[in-house]
Every structure is written in structure tokens, then in C-alpha cells.
Amino acid sequence: MNSSQSLTLPAPAKLNLMLHIVGKNERNYHLLQTVFQLLDYGDELTFEVNNRGSVTLDCNAPQLINDNNLVLKAAQLLRPYAADNAGVHITLEKRLPMGGGIGGGSSDCATTLLALNKLWQCELSLDTLANLGLHLGADVPVFVKGKTAWAEGIGEQLTAHKLPELWYLVVHPECFVSTEKIFSNKALTRDSEISKIRDFLAQGGPRRGSNVMEPVVFDLYPDVKKVRDWLLQFNPDARMTGSGSCLFAPFDNEREARKIACRCEWPNFVARGVNTSPVHTKLFE
Ligand SMILES: C[C@@](CO)(OP(=O)(O)O)[C@H](O)COP(=O)(O)OP(=O)(O)OC[C@H]1O[C@@H](n2ccc(N)nc2=O)[C@H](O)[C@@H]1O
Ligand SMILES: Nc1ncnc2c1ncn2[C@@H]1O[C@H](COP(=O)(O)OP(=O)(O)O)[C@@H](O)[C@H]1O
């Protein structure tokens, strides 16, 4: 390990273009069918390695500087595979809204696994990193594997799939939705018919897709529904990602997306859907 090494990497957001629940596993986790669309927008992390064995975090969102941060948990998970004196100082530039269903925490975690695997020369495969990451969150593996994908299981059985790289307006209703609260709601549909990626593609691909969490979230959080209804005026394909609270609408080009963004009174961003994660592009291409 070269103790003067430093690396800056993105941590992209994801959208769930559709999300169905088809059952539960033995640990009572829900079995999903979903399409993960990676975006070219997200947080940014800088890793400065040291040989003092210390792992520290700095962040522009001070409430995130604590031992529960998935970035620190990821670093601790890799420590056994690194030299005894391997350490790192991580700077997290948080841009993605939290609890928004766009996977910011999971993506930060995955970027940390990928970065430290390289900097600490752990030499773990992507499959091993994805399996390790799964212990920290169901959404971590897709960010480690770095491909837009059809996912099953709890989101870890991934089949990479190239989709048209549309532009997305993503709007945050400034309301935090607890993923656990939505998954444990009695009204949630848990018996969706099992489908295939070809069904998603036949029904309109990235433009269309249903999310079974929407009715539950809209009922509990009227502010989320309000944003969805606002977006529907401009785009009939507007919908929610993951367990919310973010809503998104697909567009053919950036200009159309930005035109609506200008009129939006809630925090928002415009990003392009990408088939390969910007982390992978920077690390491996
Ligand atoms: C719903 C999805 C869709 O991509 O995304 P988000 O909306 O959170 O971004 C994910 O499945 C969320 O994954 P993630 O956010 O990593 O969830 P975790 O931290 O692993 O789990 C939070 C809690 O949700 C419940 N949970 C999670 C995943 C799953 N397949 N079944 C569950 O029942 C569990 O009670 C768990 O304790
Ligand atoms: N690096 C991180 N960035 C964001 N949230 C984090 C991070 N580490 C841990 N968390 C915790 O995870 C929770 C939600 O994570 P996030 O990934 O933003 O939401 P979602 O799973 O809805 O996309 C936050 O409330 C926060 O307490």
C-alpha cells in the first residue's frame, strides 16, 4: 500500500423503474422483482490512505459523521482483508437526498468497497464485494456490480440489461420515508404475478412501470402524492422510486427534463440514465 495514495470517486443514484413484491424469504425479507436504473448523478467520495490503521470520516452533512454511516461500516468490513496498518480518511460530499429511494447510502457504501478493495489491495472479486455489501443493505450489490439491471431475490440476483439511456427529472418532496415502515405495512401488495424483464420491455420499458409501494406511501405521506400529481401534469409516466419519497419522470432529452425542472418548487435534479456506473467507468475503463 502506498500511503500517499488518494482517489476521488462518484457514488451514483439509482431509480427503480418498476418494483413488484412476489413473496418473502426465510428471514422475512421481501422478495422483489425490480429494474435498477443507474444515473450519472450522485455523491462524491475522496479516499486518502494512511498506514496508521485509522479509519475516519468527514462529511458536508455533519449528522452523517457517526459509526452507523455505511461508508465507515464498509471500511470496517474490508479491514480483515487488508494489511494490519491499512487506514483511510474518507471525505463524503453528500448531494443525494436521504431516505429518498434513490440509494444514496447504499451507493456510498458500494463506492467505499470498490475504492478500498483497490487502495488496500484486498483483491476481492466483484461477486465477493457484492456479497459482503449485501450484509449492509439490499441495494448495495447493484452499485458494486455497476450495471443497470433486472433484479430478483431481495435485489441481489442481478442480470445486467442495457436500456435506452433516457433523461430523468428526479424530485424530492422533502419528506423522509422509512423503508422498513413501508415494507411492514399490512396494505402492501406482496403477491404480484411473477414476471420477466421481457414483460417490462413489452409494456414500454423505462417509460412505464408500476411500483406496488406507491399506494401505501401515497396514503401515509400525502406530500409525496402531491408531487406525483404535479409531475403527472407534464409527464404521464411520472412515478415513485423504491420506497420513496422521490418521484421521477423520464424524458427523451435533457432540454425537456430541464424545462420542467425550472418550474418545480421542490428540490430536484436532472440526470441521465446510464447502463454502466460512473464508478466502474472511472475505475475499470
Ligand atoms: C425498497 C428498495 C428498492 O430498491 O430501495 P429503497 O427505497 O430503500 O432505496 C430496497 O429493496 C431497500 O433496500 P435497502 O434500503 O438497502 O434496505 P435495507 O436497509 O436492507 O432494509 C431496511 C428494512 O426494510 C425491510 N426490507 C428490506 C428489503 C427487502 N427486500 N425486504 C424487506 O423487508 C427490512 O425490514 C429491513 O430491515
Ligand atoms: N452514507 C450515507 N448516506 C446516506 N444515508 C446514510 C449513509 N449511511 C447511513 N445512512 C442512513 O441510511 C438512511 C437512508 O439511506 P438512503 O440510502 O439515503 O435512503 P434510501 O434507502 O431510501 O435510498 C439515512 O437515514 C441514514 O441514517
Residues of the chain with CATH 3.30.230.10: 6-161
Q: Provide the pLDDT for residue 261.
A: 98
* Residue whose CA is at the smallest distance from ligand 1 atom 3: 242
- Residue 140 cell numbers, joined: 448495495
Is residue 166 within 8 A of residue 251, CB to CB? The reply is yes
pLDDT for residue 23 is more than 90: yes
First to last CA, the chain: 22
Average pLDDT, the chain: 96
Distance from residue 55's CA to the centre of ligand 1 (Å)? 27
Residues of the chain with CATH 3.30.70.890: 167-274
Amino acid, res. 214 = E
Distance from residue 69's CA to the centre of ligand 2 (Å)? 8
pLDDT for residue 224 is more than 70: yes
pLDDT for residue 2 is more than 80: no
* Residue whose CA is at the smallest distance from ligand 2 atom 5: 105
pLDDT for residue 3 is more than 60: no
**ipTM value:** 0.96
Radius of gyration of the chain (CA): 19
Closest listed residue to residue 275, CA positions, set 285, 265, 260: 285
Binding site membership of 155 for ligand 2 (Cβ less than 6 Å): no
Res. 285 pLDDT band, cuts 50 70 90? confident
CATH number of 6-161: 3.30.230.10
Distance from residue 210's CA to the centre of ligand 2 (Å)? 24
Q: What is the pLDDT of residues 149-158, one digit of tens each?
A: 999 999 999 9
Mean pLDDT value across residues 189-197: 92
- Residue 100 cell numbers, joined: 429518498
Question: Quick one: 167-274 is in which CATH superfamily?
Answer: GHMP kinase, C-terminal domain (3.30.70.890)
User: Which contiguous run of DSSP H or E holds residue 256?
Assistant: helix 254-262
- Residue 173 cell numbers, joined: 418532496
Binding site membership of 241 for ligand 2 (Cβ less than 6 Å): no
The pTM for the full model equals: 0.97
What's the rounded Cα separation, in Å, for the pair 236 and 193? 24
What's the rounded Cα separation, in Å, for the pair 102 and 178? 13
Binding site membership of 152 for ligand 1 (Cβ less than 6 Å): no
Mean pLDDT value across residues 241-261: 98
**What residues form the annotated binding site for ATP?**
97-107
- Residue 228 cell numbers, joined: 406525483
Binding site membership of 29 for ligand 1 (Cβ less than 6 Å): yes
**What residues form the annotated binding site?**
97-107
Q: Provide the pLDDT for residue 184.
A: 96
Binding site membership of 102 for ligand 2 (Cβ less than 6 Å): yes
Q: Where are the alpha helices (DSSP H) in 120-248?
A: 126-134, 140-145, 179-183, 197-202, 214-220, 222-232
* Residue whose CA is at the smallest distance from ligand 2 atom 7: 105
Q: Reduced to 3 states, what is the DSSP secondary structure of residue 84?
A: coil
Is residue 103 within 8 A of residue 19, CB to CB? The reply is no
Relative to beta strand 55-59, strand 87-93 is parallel
Residues noted as catalytic: 14, 139
Measured from the Cα of 243, ligand 2's closest atom is 22
Distance from residue 255's CA to the centre of ligand 2 (Å)? 30
Mean pLDDT value across residues 124-148: 97
